[in-house]
Amino acid sequence: MNLNEHYQRDNEIFNQLMHQSPIGIAIVDKRGVLVDCNKALGDMLGYSQEELLNLSFEDFTHPEDLNKEWPMIKNMWNGEIDKYHIIKRYIHKSGEIIWVDLVGSILYKNKEKSTLGFAFVQDITERVKAKEELKRSKEYYQGVIEDQTELIVRWKFNGILTFVNNSYCEYFEKKRDELIGKSFLALIPEEDRHLINENIANITLENPIASHEHRVIKSDGSIGWTEWVNRGIFNEQGGIIEYQSVGRDITERKKAEKIMRLARDRSEFYKDLLAHDISNIFNNIKLSLKLLKLEKQDPQTLIKKKEAINIIEDQIKRGSSLISNVRSFSVLDNEEQTIKSVDIKNVLHNAIESIKSRFNKENINIKMKIDEDISIVSAGDMLYNAFENLILNGIMHNRNDLKVIWINASKIQLNDGKYVKLEFKDNGIGISNERKKNIFQRTYDRENLTGGMGIGLSLVSRIIELYEGKLSVENRIYGDYTKGSNFIVYLKEI
């Protein structure tokens, strides 16, 4: 086979491939005029092959794309590049815009550059439309997300944020770039972080959604509450690759729930108080009155009558203390308390004098030891009630003929500042270790309450907490609770 036969055979193969190809192919001269093209290109543009052969590629190329393509063509003919690639627009015969992916190069004959070039053209209109539609959908989705008042985030494991909407940024008063790529766990109190892991552990392909509530740390350091609905985003294998969470602030709801709960607890508390403690006082008085009505005057009966009078007097004191504490609880619940500078020596003196006047028939010895440099603490008017109840507790729950109360006050440095430490020790019946666990709880304990101890000490706890102090109880004698108690109060020194 000679060279002409080889050339003829190659030319036939090229023509066959060109005209049977589903991709548009054109052969052009240096001016861009079509010398040949296949049917696929004509179908793509809405022209017959004969019509196209009278046109330059400029005639059906979008004008805005010509400025970008001609420099590429010139560089190719100048030998600076072998070929060029461009995504461009064609104009269909009907005027419709067609997007194409074009690769252009130069035809060679016997390794010699000819004066003709060729282009492979693929119609990518549907692909571009799909991409634009996806972009529009993403922009629409983004707009919807950004317009929401709910907090919307996407995140990976360990809480690393990949998306946050405007509401989330505004809620935490942070810029988007301060949040993206960082873990949101830093915005959650450490003791609540386990709730996140526990929640997402329930998310599966079958159950992709789970919800929970947790506290958050606001920009000013205050604590808020948020509620979240978390959805898992899965890959084709069913593994979680990301989470999308929608949240909202529920701080006010939590506050309302707390108020409702406290109101319910107060209602139950006072109901039980009336039904149990006051009832016990009246029953004790009733039994004592029966003894007083006995007409016998023998020594044995006279002793019992004297005991009955003592019981009545004791129950009247308990009732008076109970009423006073209920009134104090009401003040705490309904009136705003002011924290101010308080002379601790004066408060203790007044509380002791009040107790002595009320129990003037009792054999009571109150010993007080206060460092000379102790004077002012951060407290308020209710501190008197706290001190009175602590002293009263050591007297009312004491079976000794001589009831002794030791009150010590000294300065102490704790981790969070300077405090005045006060100890109220007594030689009373003491408090078992089991009862110490709940001794300051406000809830009314029918089994453990004795003569109003529960309400008095819960009132003390409320008052000390109000003044940002600390309260605890231990045995007066280490290891033996039956020798009395030691109530320890810490108040901030001024």
Q: How far apart are CA 196 and CA 185, in angstroms?
A: 9
Domain-embedded: residue 423: yes
Q: How far apart are CA 112 and CA 128, in angstroms?
A: 38
Confidence of residue 229 (pLDDT cuts 50, 70, 90): very high
Domain count, the chain: 3
Decide which of 200, 217, 249 is a domain's last residue: 249
Q: Both tokens of residue 6? A: 């080889």
Residues 7 and 97 in one domain: yes
Rounded to two decimals, what is the model's pTM?
A: 0.44
320-365 tens-digit pLDDT: 666 666 666 666 666 677 889 999 999 999 999 988 887 877 899 9
Q: How far apart are CA 352 and CA 152, in angstroms?
A: 60
Instruction: Specify the CATH number for the domain of residue 362.
Output: 3.30.565.10
Residues 269 and 392 in one domain: yes
Residues 244 and 271 in one domain: no
Domain-embedded: residue 302: yes
466-491 tens-digit pLDDT: 899 999 999 999 999 999 999 999 99
Query: Which pLDDT value is given to residue 432?
Result: 93
Residues 316 and 405 in one domain: yes
Quote the strand ranges of 10-96, DSSP E.
24-29, 34-37, 83-91
**In 3D, which of 16, 36, 18 has the Cα closest to residue 114?**
36
Domain-embedded: residue 397: yes
Residue with tokens 């453990």: 448
**In 3D, which of 66, 112, 71 has the Cα closest to residue 89?**
66
Domain-embedded: residue 87: yes
CB 75 within 8 A of CB 83: no
Residues 76 and 56 in one domain: yes
Q: How far apart are CA 415 and CA 26, in angstroms?
A: 85
Residues 242 and 263 in one domain: no
Quote the strand ranges of 265-360, DSSP E.
340-343
Domain-embedded: residue 136: no
- Cα pseudo-dihedral 397, 400, 401, 404, rounded to 10: -80
260-296 tens-digit pLDDT: 887 777 666 666 655 556 666 666 676 666 656 665 6
Residues 121 and 159 in one domain: no
- DSSP letter for each residue of 120-166: EEEE-HHHHHHHHHHHHHHHHHHHHHHH-SSEEEEE-GGGBEEEE-H
Residues 310 and 380 in one domain: yes
CB 124 within 8 A of CB 101: yes
74-124 tens-digit pLDDT: 999 998 999 999 999 999 999 999 999 999 999 876 666 778 999 999 999
Decide which of 249, 271, 286 is a domain's last residue: 249
Query: Which pLDDT value is given to residue 84?
Result: 96
Residues 271 and 383 in one domain: yes
Domain-embedded: residue 483: yes
Q: How far apart are CA 455 and CA 385, in angstroms?
A: 12
179-224 tens-digit pLDDT: 999 999 999 999 999 999 999 999 999 999 999 999 999 999 999 9
Q: Both tokens of residue 151? A: 């907090």
The CB-based long-range contact list for 63-71 (8 Å cut-off, 24+ gap) reads 64/89, 65/89
Residues 435 and 321 in one domain: yes
Counting Cα atoms < 13 Å in the Cβ hemisphere of 87 gives 5
Instruction: Specify the CATH number for the domain of residue 245.
Output: 3.30.450.20
Decide which of 249, 281, 307 is a domain's last residue: 249
Residues 94 and 212 in one domain: no
Pairwise pLDDT comparison (286 vs 372), residue with the higher score:
372
128-176 tens-digit pLDDT: 998 888 887 777 666 666 767 899 999 998 899 999 999 999 999 999 9
Residues 348 and 323 in one domain: yes
Pairing mode of beta strands 151-155, 112-123: unpaired
Counting Cα atoms < 13 Å in the Cβ hemisphere of 453 gives 22
Domain-embedded: residue 142: no
Domain-embedded: residue 139: no
Domain carrying residue 44:
3-128
